[in-house]
Structure 1
């Protein structure tokens, strides 16, 4: 069976062209051929058709084999090029091969041409496959680098000795370097000793187990800010080379902190709910005891006194009634005291400033404790929730100072700006560790500090407390004029 072969013959003598075609047929080919003898005709033939091989005479009156070779090169196609000549010297043949010719023959040895063509066709197929493979590899590498360098998460590859052999732009940027600067380094060049040891341990686990590993690690970035990273490492082996370890990281710092803050906020709310119930029960118990022990007993005594007065004569009745009037006055005083403790009427009738002044003065008039209340500018009637929150925070703060601070002086100041009410509470007592107090509050051991903070948060305000052992306490509260909702953090 003859092998189809498309041949472009660059030859000025038609008889020589036919001789070549005859030899190809003898060699088992079925040639489909075209003869050209100048550059323009050859270029047109290359542009209009596909050819398996080009066979060119070395020397022609107006053209040459080397000129034909240049025309073929300009087309940038992979086609074998063979030169034939009636008289060609060895030096000339060498120059032709250096110029890019695949083979050359003297016309008197043309019988060897079919074998040479078979060889060149096989070599051309191999060259085309190699070129296609190299092109595909370059395209794959280009896509890989484009993907990795535009990926927002850090990625890297380390060799068996755990030195970086590849990093993407995000990984290099994390450490404030370029990818080229990181190649050849290890984690001890980039991280703290503890973080580097931890990373190396995980890398070695992956290499030993040949399995992927997911961890969460804290690593400082270029600005020495601790970042929390979810890292996935996996073994990597290229061809028959030594095993390597690759990794991908996702920065979850914000999410982790958010989860911790949410958990803490939920815990505070649970504790606050419990404390609210406890405070309600305590207040109810106090109110019930006051009504029973003081008001109830006084009313019972009044009843007995009035019953006795009914039985007495007019002269003794008058004395009993006078005692009854005095007892009623005592009962009214007891009821007023209970009412003031529940909610001072000044807060409703005269406003926040008068209520705070009365409370500070009434609570600091005994036991050598001095209290001062100040306010700046006119503070008109505010939203009831804001006034109540402000009063309760002062009430809670002074109660805590009286119980624990051993202070000699308390200062309460109320100011305002364009949109906020500003409350400042100070004492010169023994102070305390704020962080420890918060821990006690979270564990449910103490509710005072937590109650004040939550009261401010629930109307959209903030509270900042500063203290340390031996330095007194400073509380700054900022409340809006109108209650708002502020996210717990």
Structure 2
């Protein structure tokens, strides 16, 4: 009797042991499978991000090439043609006190203003100019253009960031500033624009503030994501492309403040220090 009980106990114990092993094996396989799926999802996400970054790089390269061609076209053809017309108006044989002279003088002034605006636009579009005069001067140039409309008060506080960023990063950051200023002109209904460019030990900080109508950032980002729009989403992607972070603080009727933080290019800083020692 006792022998039968021991055999039954042994069978039950063995069955339970095997069942536990089976359950453990299944659990381990499920965990490994879950980790594998997570790893695959992570890899797919990284591949998607790399693809989007490469696509954005290509788009920016194409954009800069188009800007360069437009800048050259404005300078070489449109600007020269308008200058020729302005000079021709000066040679029109009319009396100084006549009505025609006053009309021609007003036309010449309007034409000269258009030539100045086109020249400024050509400079803003040309990539090499950003490299030549530097990021701070390029931003200051854009703010002066904005100020000349007599619609905005502008202020610009900046530190010396020359040689702290590579040229490509400077250009992308400058295009970000242009796009943000363009957004202010189009949507903000602001009267004041403040820009601050500063740097700490290993980062450069760009801040742009306006006193406009403001908006709900989360709602706007969600809308742009659904519609695959550009705007702030595009600015955020550009900042990410150069290793930066993008933060926006805005509310309705409270203006908007945008802050972009960019890591300092160590190689450029090292080269700058070597030049200073020499």
TM-score (norm 2): 0.65
Superposed displacement of residue 456, structure 1:
1.4
Structure 2 unaligned regions, length at least 5: 92-107, 268-278
Query: In 1, Cα distance between the equivalents of 2:248 and 2:65?
Result: 28
Is the 8 Å Cα contact of residues 429 and 472 (structure 1) preserved in structure 2? yes
Relative contact order: is structure 1 or structure 2 higher (C-alpha 8 Å, sep ≥ 6)?
Answer: 2
| Preserved CA contact (<8 Å) 1:268 1:442 | no
Q: Distance in 2 between matches of 1:334 and 1:429?
A: 25
SS where residue 11 of structure 2 aligns?
helix
Structure 1: runs of 5 or more not aligned: 1-123, 156-169, 171-248, 309-325, 485-489
**Matched positions, count:** 245
1:136 maps to 2:11: yes
Contact 1:393 1:452 (8 Å CA) reproduced:
yes
**What is the aligned partner in structure 2 of residue 381 from structure 1?**
163
User: Does the 8 Å contact 1:433/1:468 carry over to 2?
Assistant: yes
In structure 2, distance between residues paired with 1:467 and 1:450: 15
Q: Secondary structure at the match of 2:151?
A: coil
Report the counterpart of residue 190 of structure 2 in structure 1.
Answer: 407
- 1:294 paired with 2:169, answer no
Cα distance in 1 between the residues matched to 2:54 and 2:132: 35
CA contact (8 A) 1:463 1:477 kept: yes
Question: How much does 1:404 deviate?
Answer: 0.5
Q: Does the 8 Å contact 2:74/2:122 carry over to 1? A: no
Identify the residue that residue 102 of structure 2 maps to in structure 1: none
Deviation at 1:304, TM superposition (A): 8.8
* Partner-residue secondary structure (3-state), 1:418: coil
Structure-2 residue corresponding to 1:361: 144
**Is the partner of 1:412 in helix, strand or coil?**
strand
1:449 equivalent to 2:232? Answer yes
Matched-pair contact (CA < 8 Å) for 2:245–2:260:
yes
Q: Tell me if 1:420 matches 2:207.
A: no
- Distance in 1, matches of 2:254 and 2:49, equals 29
The CA RMSD measured in Å over matched residues stands at 4.7
- TM-score with structure 1 setting the length: 0.40
CA contact (8 A) 1:351 1:381 kept: no
Output one character per residue of 1:394-416: Cα deviation in whole Å (capped at 9) or x when no partner. Answer: 11111110111001211111111
The structure with the largest strand share of the pair is: 1
- Structure 1 or 2: more helix by fraction: 2
| 1:390 matched to 2:173 | yes
Which residue in the other structure is 2:126 paired with?
343
Inter-partner Cα distance in structure 2 for 1:471 and 1:452: 21
Matching of residues 31-110 of structure 1 within 5 Å: none
Match for residue 476 of structure 1?
259
Within a 5 Å distance, the mapping from 1:160-239 to structure 2 comes to none
